Amino acid sequence: MLNILWPIFIIISFIYAIFFGNIENLNKSIFSSVEEAVNLSISLLGTMCLWSGIMQIARETTFVNKLSNLLAPVMKFLFPDVKKGSTIYQEISMNIIANLLGLGNAATPLGLKAMKSMQEENVDKDVLTNSMATLIVLNTASIQIIPSTVIAIRSSLGSTNPSIIIVPVWIATICAGVVGMLAVKFFIKIGK
Amino acid sequence: MEKISVLSNLAMPVMILIIVIYGIIQRNKVFDTFLDGAKEGISVVVNLFPTLVGLFLAVGTLRASGVLDFVIQIISPVLDYIKIPSEIMPLALLRPISGSSSIAVAVDIMKQFGVDSGLGIIASVIMGSTETTLYTIAVYTSAVGIKKTRFVLVASLIADIVGMLASVAICRFLSMSFS
């Protein structure tokens, strides 16, 4: 995708700048953008290291496993076709918890494992099952307790309170997630 | 408003506390584990760095040449109608397509208007509450080699739009927003 977008951005900017006489600005921005990338990356290091370290503890213990037991009521509503206690059930609920904790590196492999297990049971191998579709939409809604990357960015840009956005993020994510899941249920119901 | 700020401030410390205590109960060598994870954090940032250089360049030139302002001017009448600040639109459009370029655009917005300004906060909430939808769908469907994805894209994009509208609405409601 970026192989298309990136050159388009640069070419359009260049042409526009020539037409409207902004070449000096454009030239300056080349150096300031590169410098910005350096500054942001350096200040991102602190928060990202801290959070990856803490989350490593969650990953090495049974934390994710334990929490996934709490999901039973939600699982029953979202994945009525998946039997409780089955491997697929485990993989899906651990995928959800890993997403909640912001363990992107752990969540994706778990989710893909669940997809592969479901594909084995899939009758029509070319079409997603209801549960598979639900799992994907759930993964496109970023359900995260601590949006660590944004907080890191905010703190690197000198925010007076980088984490003030946490509760607003919760509310927005829940709205998006609920609507996403209702949309899935609706489409399944009308037989799409 | 105050309660929300208290709760927001509590979330991270409480999470750290719970996980560390859980680690101790499980007899994990928590500090060694922490160091292992923190090292991984370095490689995440290092791997992200080249992407950021490239995309900051692209977004920086869009801003400096005047293209960004031009696009915003065109779309603002429509967005004003549904009460979405047009400065947010480039972010909203890129967010589902590309994670790293939406970071670049969000940083640009936060720098331009202030990280704690209304627009800065809205951009932060949008970044925190949405995912790179198209990428996620591609990863999950290609893992099992399925091309017929039924309603997945539509449902995900509906969720994204709702998430973005909700982000704007919440920030306005909490009067953290720009008037």
For A12-42, write each residue's pLDDT tens digit.
Answer: 999 999 999 889 989 999 999 999 899 889 9
Which single residue is written with the structure tokens 């953290």? B176
Task: Encode pLDDT of A76-102 as tens digits.
Answer: 999 999 998 889 999 999 999 989 988
Q: How many residues does chain A have?
A: 192
Residues in contact with A142: Cβ distance below 8 Å, sequence separation at least 6, in sequence order: A99, A173, B128, B129, B130, B131
pLDDT for B176: 55
User: Which of A113, A136, A161 to probe by mutation at the B interface, max B CB count within 10 Å?
Assistant: A136
How many angstroms separate the CA atoms of B75 and B107, rounded?
Answer: 21
Residue A26: what residue type? L
Average pLDDT over residues B153-173: 93
Complex-level ipTM: 0.88
pLDDT for B64: 92
pLDDT for B1: 64
- Distance from the A180 Cα atom to the nearest Cα atom in chain B, whole angstroms: 5
Q: Do A17 and B126 touch (CB under 8 A)?
A: no
Average pLDDT over residues A133-142: 92
How many angstroms separate the CA atoms of B155 and B133, rounded?
Answer: 11
* The pLDDT of residue B99 is above 90: no
User: Which of B70, B144, B147, B168 to probe by mutation at the A interface, max A CB count within 10 Å?
Assistant: B144
How many angstroms separate the CA atoms of B144 and A176, rounded?
Answer: 26
SS3 of residue B148 by DSSP? strand
Helix/strand/coil (H/E/C) assignment for every residue in A146-169: CCHHHHHHHHHCCCCCHHHHHHHH
Q: For chains A and B, count residue pairs whose Cβ atoms are closer than 8 Å.
A: 339
- Distance from the A152 Cα atom to the nearest Cα atom in chain B, whole angstroms: 11
For the entire predicted model, the pTM comes to: 0.88
Task: Name the residue ranges covered by the structural domains of chain B.
Answer: 30-173
Contact residues on chain A for B155, CB-CB shorter than 8 A: 133, 137, 180, 183-184, 187
How many angstroms separate the CA atoms of B120 and B105, rounded?
Answer: 11
How many angstroms separate the CA atoms of B177 and B122, rounded?
Answer: 7
User: What is the number of other CB atoms lying within 10 angstroms of the CB of residue A80?
Assistant: 11
- Distance from the A117 Cα atom to the nearest Cα atom in chain B, whole angstroms: 9
Are A45 and B91 spatial neighbours (Cβ–Cβ below 8 Å)?
no
Joined tokens for residue B45: 């940032």
Contact residues on chain A for B103, CB-CB shorter than 8 A: 149, 153
